[in-house]
């Protein structure tokens, strides 16, 4: 027999945004259910040292932070469900979701916090050295490379912005791009070319990341010239893959309004989506900041927006019944 779970607040995703929404929702008496998704804890579960989350003077571990957030959410009354949603219906309330387990979830309001994943090059050496010199977030990890030589891989806005940011920490930043021109906005390109700390290698493809030392970390990147096929290496301490992100929104395509990049559109200054009663928070709607602390902030916003929506809906129901 198929199990069905009903709640005032249904939350999809268990990263900083989803768990913060759960904490606020539980404290507001909405008894939220959090469907944790394919990666419980979000991207921080694969992040080692976290030095920029407020409240901790020392470096903390990403998985530990998410475990604490989940424990806090459960302590105040949120329920965690290990499942992945495969079917959605937001045409009427309560909203109906179906997990790959066959379990049905019903929510008077829905908070989408499914996040986004960084795009990677897909190299074995990249996977082996992630967190050991290879990163996809300069804002998160650039501080660890103060005074060291770093490289950024990519040619769009993300790559140029990451390179410019890294000059705050490094005097030697190399941008590696497989074409002979950037796709980034012209104003960003102008800033990059005017920065003496940045060097650009055109028509170069990353063949592999090279580790070494004790403990093993990134020491160099092997490159292939796209025109001649010639191989070369550059010595670096940090490599930042900046080729974009995939928001986890495919499930909602055709159900909720998305922007051209696939991120959920929200009303400015809120977490309200195109469907009343459905709210989005975290990286699934934020293509600019993508930080744990900003995700948590929008999770708080989503819970407050949801609480107000339900209060207004409940009041309208009372008024209708009184008029009958």
pLDDT tens string for the chain (324 positions)?
Answer: 579 999 999 999 999 999 999 999 999 999 999 999 877 777 777 666 788 899 998 988 888 999 999 999 999 999 999 999 999 999 999 999 999 989 999 999 999 999 998 889 999 999 999 989 999 888 888 999 999 999 999 999 889 999 999 999 999 999 999 999 999 999 999 999 999 999 999 999 999 999 987 678 999 999 999 999 999 999 999 999 999 889 999 999 999 999 999 999 999 999 999 999 999 999 999 988 888 999 999 999 999 999 999 999 876 765 565 666
pLDDT at 52: 85
The matching CATH number, chosen from 3.30.450.40, 3.50.50.60, 3.30.720.200, 3.20.20.70, for 4-117+245-323 is 3.50.50.60
| Alpha carbon of residue 122 to chain centroid | 19
pLDDT at 1: 59
* Separation in Å, CA 268 to CA 17, 280, 282, 286: 18, 12, 14, 12
| Alpha carbon of residue 68 to chain centroid | 19
pLDDT at 320: 65
Residues assigned a catalytic role: 137, 140-141
pLDDT at 118: 85
The 8 Å CB, 24+ separation contacts for 211-219 are 211/125, 211/128, 211/129, 211/132, 211/133, 215/132, 216/129, 216/132, 217/129, 217/132, 217/133, 218/129, 218/132, 218/133, 218/134, 219/133
Ranges of each domain in the chain: 4-117+245-323, 121-242
> Which residue has tokens 């906005």?
185
pLDDT at 324: 61
The matching CATH number, chosen from 3.50.50.60, 3.40.720.10, 1.10.1660.10, 3.20.20.60, for 121-242 is 3.50.50.60
The pair of structure tokens assigned to 222 is: 């092997």
241 vs 244: CA distance, rounded Å: 9
pLDDT at 51: 83
pLDDT at 322: 63
The pair of structure tokens assigned to 74 is: 């459960």
Burial (CB < 10 A; 0-12, 13-18, 19+), residue 280, is: buried
pLDDT at 280: 98
The pair of structure tokens assigned to 157 is: 């806005």
> Which residue has tokens 């159900």?
255
Fold match, 4-117+245-323 / 121-242: yes
| Alpha carbon of residue 259 to chain centroid | 16
Do you find a cis peptide bond into 47, omega within 30 degrees of 0? Answer: no
């Amino acid at each position: 027999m198929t199990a069905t779970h009903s709640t005032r607040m249904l939350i999809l995703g268990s990263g900083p945004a989803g768990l913060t929404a759960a904490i606020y929702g539980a404290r507001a008496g909405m008894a939220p259910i959090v469907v944790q998704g394919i990666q419980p804890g979000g991207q921080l579960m694969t992040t080692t040292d976290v030095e920029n989350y407020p409240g901790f003077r020392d470096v903390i571990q990403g998985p530990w932070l998410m475990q604490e957030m989940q424990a806090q959410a459960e302590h105040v009354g949120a329920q965690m469900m290990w499942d992945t949603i495969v079917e959605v219906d937001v045409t009427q309330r309560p909203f109906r979701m179906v997990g790959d387990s066959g379990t049905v979830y019903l929510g008077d309001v829905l908070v989408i916090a499914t996040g986004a994943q960084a795009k990677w090059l897909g190299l074995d050496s990249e996977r082996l050295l992630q967190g050991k010199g290879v990163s996809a977030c300069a804002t998160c990890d650039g501080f660890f490379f103060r005074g060291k030589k770093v490289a950024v891989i990519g040619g769009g806005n993300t790559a140029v912005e990451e390179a410019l940011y890294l000059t705050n920490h490094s005097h030697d930043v190399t941008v590696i791009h497989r074409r002979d021109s950037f796709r980034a906005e012209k104003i960003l390109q102008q800033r990059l070319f005017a920065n003496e700390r940045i060097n650009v290698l055109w028509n170069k493809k990353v063949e592999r990341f090279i580790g070494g030392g004790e403990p093993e970390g990134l020491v160099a990147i092997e490159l292939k010239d796209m025109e001649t096929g010639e191989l070369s290496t550059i010595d670096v301490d940090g490599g930042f893959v900046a080729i974009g992100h995939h928001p986890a929104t495919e499930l909602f395509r055709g159900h909720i309004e998305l922007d051209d990049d696939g991120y959920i559109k929200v009303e400015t200054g809120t977490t309200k989506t195109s469907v009343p009663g459905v709210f989005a928070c975290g990286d699934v709607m934020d293509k600019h900041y993508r930080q744990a602390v900003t995700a948590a902030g929008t999770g708080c916003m989503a819970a407050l927006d949801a609480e107000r929506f339900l209060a207004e809906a409940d009041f309208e129901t009372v008024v209708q019944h009184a008029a009958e």
